Amino acid sequence: MNQLHKYHKTLELDKILNRLAELTCCEEAAALALGLEPETSLGRVRTELEKTDGAFILSSRYGTPSFAKLHNPEIDLKRCESGASLNNRELLNIAAIYRQCRLLLEWRERCENVATMLDEYFDNLAENRYLENKINAAIISEEEIDDNASVELSNIRRKIRQNSTKARDSLDRIIKNNAKYLQDSIITMRDGRYVVPVKAEHRGEVPGLVHDTSASGATLFVEPMSVVEANNEIRVLMSKEQDEIERILAELSAECADFAESIRNNFRLIILLNLYFAKANLGASMRAVKPFVTDDGYISLKKARHPLIDKDKVVPIDIELGRGFTSLIITGPNTGGKTVSLKTLGLLTLMTMCGLLIPVADQSRISIFDKVLVDIGDEQSIEQSLSTFSAHMTNIISILEEADDRSLVLVDELGSGTDPVEGAALAISIIEEISARGSRLAATTHYAELKAYALETKGVENACCEFDVATLQPTYRLLIGVPGRSNAFAISRRLGLEEHILDRAEGYISSDNRRFEDVVDSLEQARQDYEKERAELEEKNREYERLNAQLNAKRKGLENAGEHEIERAREKAKYIVDKVRAESDALLNELEELRKQKEKTDVAELARRARSQMNGKISRLYDEANPVRERMGTNETYKLPRPLRKGDEVLVYDLDKQAVVLEEPDKSGNVMVQMGIMKTRVKLKNLRLIEQKNPYKEKPKSSTTRTIKSNAERSAKSEIDLRGYTVEEALLDLDQFIDNCVLSNINQISIIHGKGTGVLRTAVQAHLKRHRSIKTYRLGTYGEGESGVTIAELK
């Protein structure tokens, strides 16, 4: 076995590839899966990962395309290219390849416009519906050709059926007339010919040819002379049938030879696509992702999980190596997860180099290497009659022969199996040698000397597998930067070992080692306190983010509600202003008409002033139509003529509302006022004093009253006919009619709208209902026009 393959097997890459092979559709795809080798080219690794990730994206969005179990057509294609004919099964396999090609292309069309690096494979697939349909139309199964495969075959089989019917009819008559001579009243076949079973003692009673005898000799299978000719014809036709079938198969085989290269290419592409979708499905089963890949030797795995451990039981670990330190020394108690951490690091590196997704969290980073060199376990020592230490050192020597700056070295229990002092010294020397060669190293150990060495040496870092002394259980978490403890005394104390034995044992530990362990204890306690505080902070941060999200949602809801109300107010105000403008225009137009008729200066002046006043009011109404306006944003600088006193009438400027001062301004410049039933505090700068004028000091202005008798008053009628009008035209004329009637002091009007469909009546009554000049309205009674007329009473 190749040395590198041995290391790969130690890290159990073969088990991952076996799981991948089980997800493929056929032997060829499985062989590709089992034959995957870790790539050492960064470009190739990234390309393979992109293809696998493309398959993962397509599968997660649209489901994995189905793949049929196909057979490699290479040998069959070579035979048909040389002129040989293929059998039913071989031709059906070629049709299955074209069918698979067609289904893949149809599936890809349903995937919208999601571009992936697998598109080059899909684009090169070439379907051939002509050959696929021709094979499927001719061949029903591996044993049967369809009757309609050719006209000649259809005719031959029709004749075979006719002669078979003729022979069976003849045999039925013989059975009916000679039943007493027959062993059974049945028709059977021997050598492709119809026969009847005749009792041996009555052989002469049924003339014909004997084709077979039963094992006991009591029954003879006789072909009666009356069916010999029919059977002969059937045999001749069956020979022709076989010749025609061979001709059809030869013709189909020749067509397959014409498309041999296309078939080969399609099969190759189908197998490759199947492999990438198998990789994607394997990644999905592991909850795996695509890591960021480099070749700079830096590894940073977040929440990495060993893929061969149950995903619901495995404890995720964080591993870092290659930035700030090139060697990682992992310590801790036995069964604490040290070896699993090494295998996880090595296996995930190899999986990435094979183009597989790996079970880590997002933002994980991994480096590829030319060699992954491993010494884990001593299973080979028994076969080679070596001690554990000898086997261990043999592996280390092999690793040192190959290690360079493009190598990842993983060593379990470095320097173990011999005297602890010598083993520790040897381990330190090996670490220095591997570091000098530029390799990345991760090693596990129990030696305290290696913990101290890692603390003191640049480029070497401690790590430990956490152990909960309270429960005597490992947590399997890997802690970078923290040296581990064996916890032997703590475990023994929890298990009940007498205290005086433990005290005596602790006395045998050197003072340096005791001080070192004390430092490790204090570091561990500080780390646990930090972890607890960090967890509390993270919980508080999550609660803050939750509350902040709720507040933002409420704020957005209020803003949306406010905008909705503002829009409603604006629309209502616009409707009121438009209505007032329409009414004022009608009135001013009438005044203008009066001026033209009377040609009096005073009337013209009255119309001009009325128009001016009305336009001013309309403009103010338009201003009020926008309820959200900046009244305080002008450059106007208003100064109160005197300090405000209790009881003063003021104008709240931004609201344009009058109010009464209840309290004098406070130190903050706020004034308590009452607007209607509402009491509130308002900024002093937002108030305008309303000065009370003495009514006795002002002389009333003289006024002149003119009575204008309008044209409307002279010619108004109390009835309007709206039949034939559109709704818009009718309502416009109705408004003018009502205004004329009001000016003419008419109390009741009749509106003729007709019966018809009722649309105009409904519109008229709805308009009357909201018209300010209408007091009541009703439908006409008998003699008034009934439902074709509406009678309205004016205010």
Q: Within 13 Å and on the Cβ side, how many CA atoms surround 409?
A: 33
Alpha-carbon distances, residue 574 vs 617, 627, 732 (angstroms): 14, 11, 18
Q: Using N-to-C axis directions, what is the helix angle for 511-598 and 448-456, rounded to 10°?
A: 50
Distance, in Å, from the CA atom of 412 to the CA atom of 327, rounded to the nearest integer, reads 13
Q: Which residue has the tokens 């880590």?
A: 360
The sign one gets for the Cα dihedral 77, 81, 87, 92 is positive
Backbone phi, then psi, for 627, in 5-degree steps? Answer: -75, -15
CA distances from 141 to 239, 246, 490 (A): 21, 15, 73
- pLDDT score recorded for residue 352: 96
Q: What is the pLDDT of residue 609?
A: 60
The answer on whether 336 is annotated among ligand-binding residues is yes
- To the question of whether residue 420 is assigned a binding role by annotation, the answer is no
Cα–chain center distance at 691: 71
- Whole-angstrom Cα distance, residue 560 to residue 562? 5
Check: CB of residue 387 under 8 Å from CB of residue 404: no
Per the annotation, does 484 bind a ligand? no
CB 736 within 8 A of CB 712: no
CA distances from 721 to 373, 716, 781 (A): 105, 14, 17
State yes or no: 338 annotated in a binding site. yes
Kindly give the interhelix angle for 74-81 and 260-285, rounded to the nearest 10 degrees.
180
- Distance, in Å, from the CA atom of 582 to the CA atom of 618, rounded to the nearest integer, reads 11
- HEC profile of 669-700: CEEEEEECCEEEEEEHHHEEECCCCCCCCCCC
Tell me how far apart the alpha carbons of residues 33 and 16 are, in angstroms, rounded to a whole number.
10
Dist CA 289 CA 364 (whole Å): 9
Checking DSSP bridges between strand 299-304 and strand 317-321, what pairing results, if any?
A: antiparallel
The answer on whether 335 is annotated among ligand-binding residues is yes
| pLDDT at residue 631 in the model | 45
CA separation for the pair 54, 49 (Å, rounded): 8
Q: Domains along the chain? A: 8-128+259-285 (1.10.1420.10), 149-253 (1.10.1420.10), 292-491 (3.40.50.300), 630-693 (2.30.30.140), 712-794 (3.30.1370.110)
User: Is residue 669 part of an annotated ligand binding site?
Assistant: no
Q: What is the 3-state secondary structure (H, E, C) of 164-231?
A: HHHHHHHHHHHHHHCHHHECCCCCEEECCEEEEEEEHHHHHHCCEEEEEECCCCCEEEEEEHHHHHHH
The residues with which 587 forms a beta bridge, in sequence order, are: none
Place of tokens 């010494």: 375
The candidate with the shortest Cα–Cα distance to 438, out of 405, 465, 412, 468, is: 405
Decide the pairing of beta strands 219-224 and 459-468.
unpaired
Q: Which two tokens stand for residue 348?
A: 């995930």
Query: What six digits make up the tokens of 337?
Result: 């997860």
Query: Could you tell me if 366 and 299 are in contact, meaning their C-beta atoms sit under 8 angstroms apart?
Result: yes
Measured distance CA(795)–CA(779) in Å, rounded: 18
> Cβ contacts of residue 265 below 8 Å, gap of 6+?
124, 126
Q: 51: annotated binding-site residue? A: no
Give the C-alpha distances (Å, rounded to integers) separating 517 from 78, 486, 698. Answer: 74, 10, 104
- Go through the chain and tell me how many residues it has: 795
* 337 belongs to an annotated ligand binding site: yes
**Which pLDDT score is estimated for 543?**
84
Q: How far apart are CA 520 and CA 517, in angstroms?
A: 5
Give the residues of the chain that fall short of pLDDT 70.
Answer: 1-2, 181, 205, 334-336, 378-387, 467-474, 484-491, 493-494, 506-531, 583, 587-588, 590-637, 677, 692-716
Three-state DSSP string of 389-430: HHHHHHHHHHHHHHCCCCEEEEECCCCCCCCHHHHHHHHHHH
Confirm if 411 and 444 have CB atoms less than 8 A apart: yes
Token pair recorded at residue 771 = 């018209």
Q: Using alpha carbons only, what angle is made at residue 559 by residues 553 and 561, rounded to the nearest 5 degrees?
A: 100
* Contact status, residue 372 vs residue 410, Cβ threshold 8 Å: yes
Task: Using DSSP bridges, classify how beta strands 219-224 and 719-721 pair: parallel, antiparallel or unpaired.
Answer: unpaired
| Torsion sign over Cα 262, 263, 267, 273 | positive
**What number of H helices and E strands is found in the chain?**
22, 23
Look at residue 611 in the predicted model and tell me its pLDDT: 60
Report yes or no: 293 and 348 within 8 Å, Cβ to Cβ: no
Check: CB of residue 627 under 8 Å from CB of residue 656: no
CB under 8 Å to 565, separation ≥6 — which residues? none
Asked if 738 contacts 771 with a C-beta cutoff of 8 angstroms, the reply is: yes
Distance (Å, rounded) from C-alpha 294 to C-alpha 372?
Answer: 15
What is the pLDDT at residue 467? Answer: 67
